[in-house]
């Protein structure tokens, strides 16, 4: 099988090449993202395209993939909002993903963002480097005994709920499908409005769907507690960025941590340090002292990358052998 990778970074090449010693597929790497132009790079001998979060796998691209006789689209991530599944099914192209490579990696990054913002570690780091040892402006709060609202309690949200519970917080959760085990561990499922009204900290862990798009919007922000800390390590479009900037300016939102951003496909995973950023909203956000932006790195641990490479190649091995993937919730 020949696999064409799009949006491939040096670490993708390192981890996939290492893992491929057990699979012996033919791997071809493109650093460019997949879209209706770059799809033309695919040669007739390619069976599979392997894509990541910001590759554009819409109807037009899938139609071209079908013309090129591509059989499989392998996502090397969990979220699949960037793939038009209906069109893929129509053309008989199988789509697979890596559903749960390391929920701990993302939950730990969420925790890191929360702690950094709350105790202003990002500011302290810079101050001390300039021999400014003053504490003025660095006051935080205890996380202990605060109320944390978690939206989406799947693999990642469940780990995050448990971490927060272990820190002595009250955890309120919202999910279309409440998790009985979490309930038994003292996590209380409530309606979204109660999450907005009672939470000191809100963390987003639901997928991006038409229902969850802009779940953080002017109305939901209005319902939140003054000074709420909002963290999004899920998908950028869960947050209406414009409304969130207004919420920050009005001091309704006390701090914002985002690992994902509405327009991230134009900037993330690239070194733009020598250029002037054209995205004015992102530039504005990065200038706020109470905003922490990381560039979609929550998944980025050694364990997660090892697992992503193994599961992606094993998904394809199974599809090639039996046209299905056993018991992993990986086939879409």
Ligand X SMILES: NC(=O)c1ccc[n+]([C@@H]2O[C@H](COP(=O)([O-])OP(=O)(O)OC[C@H]3O[C@@H](n4cnc5c(N)ncnc54)[C@H](O)[C@@H]3O)[C@@H](O)[C@H]2O)c1
Catalytic residues: 235, 264, 296
155 binds ligand X (CB under 6 A): yes
- Distance, CA of 148 to chain centre: 19
Candidates 9-17, 54-62, 151-159, 162-170; binding stretch for ligand X (CB under 6 A): 151-159
226 binds ligand X (CB under 6 A): no
Candidates 87-95, 148-156, 182-190, 275-283; binding stretch for ligand X (CB under 6 A): 148-156
For residue 24, give the 3-state DSSP assignment: coil
Beta strands per DSSP E along the chain: 2-5, 26-29, 48-51, 72-75, 94-96, 147-151, 170-174, 188-189, 201-204, 228-232, 253-258, 291-293
Candidates 13-21, 88-96, 146-154, 309-317; binding stretch for ligand X (CB under 6 A): 146-154
> Given the structure tokens 């199974």, which residue do they identify?
318
What's the min distance (Å) between Cβ of 28 and ligand X?
25
225 binds ligand X (CB under 6 A): no
Nearest to 163 by CA among 128, 132, 201, 198: 201
Nearest to 236 by CA among 215, 252, 211, 222: 215
Site for ligand X in 74-133 (CB under 6 A): 78-79, 100, 103, 106
**Cβ closest to ligand X, residue 234 vs residue 244:** 234
Residue 264 has what DSSP assignment?
G
Which residue among 47, 50, 111, 157 contacts ligand X (CB under 6 A)?
A: 157
Contact residues for ligand X, defined by CB under 6 A: 78-79, 100, 103, 106, 151-157, 174-177, 205-209, 211-212, 233-235, 259-260, 296, 298-299
């Amino acid at each position: 099988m020949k696999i064409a990778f799009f949006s491939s970074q040096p670490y993708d090449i390192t981890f996939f090449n290492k893992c491929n010693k057990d699979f012996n597929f033919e791997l071809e790497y493109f650093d460019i993202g997949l879209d209706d132009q770059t799809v033309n790079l695919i040669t007739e001998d390619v069976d599979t395209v392997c894509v990541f979060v910001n590759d554009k796998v819409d109807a037009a691209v899938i139609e071209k993939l079908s013309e090129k006789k591509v059989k499989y689209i392998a996502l090397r991530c969990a979220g699949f909002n960037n793939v038009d599944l209906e069109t893929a099914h129509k053309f008989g192209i199988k789509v697979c993903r890596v559903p749960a490579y390391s929920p701990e990696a993302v939950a730990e990054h969420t925790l890191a963002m929360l702690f950094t913002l709350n105790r202003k570690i990002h500011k302290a780091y810079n101050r001390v480097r300039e021999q400014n040892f003053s504490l003025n402006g660095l006051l935080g709060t205890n996380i202990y005994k605060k109320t944390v609202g978690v939206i989406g309690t799947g693999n990642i949200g469940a780990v995050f709920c448990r971490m927060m519970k272990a820190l002595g917080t009250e955890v309120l959760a919202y999910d279309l499908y409440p998790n009985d085990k979490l309930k038994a561990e003292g996590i209380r499922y409530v309606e979204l409005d109660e999450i907005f009204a009672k939470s000191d900290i809100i963390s987003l862990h639901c997928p991006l769907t038409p229902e969850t798009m802009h779940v953080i919007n002017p109305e939901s922000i209005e319902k939140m507690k003054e000074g709420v800390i909002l963290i999004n390590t899920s998908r950028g479009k869960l947050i209406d960025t414009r409304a969130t900037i207004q919420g920050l300016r009005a001091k309704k939102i006390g701090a914002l941590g985002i690992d994902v951003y509405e327009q991230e496909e134009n900037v993330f995973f690239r070194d733009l340090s020598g250029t002037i950023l054209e995205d004015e909203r992102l530039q504005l956000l990065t200038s706020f002292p109470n905003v922490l932006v990381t560039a979609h790195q929550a998944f980025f641990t050694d364990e997660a990358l090892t697992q992503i490479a193994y599961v992606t190649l094993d998904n394809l091995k199974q599809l090639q052998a039996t046209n299905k993937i056993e018991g992993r919730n990986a086939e879409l």
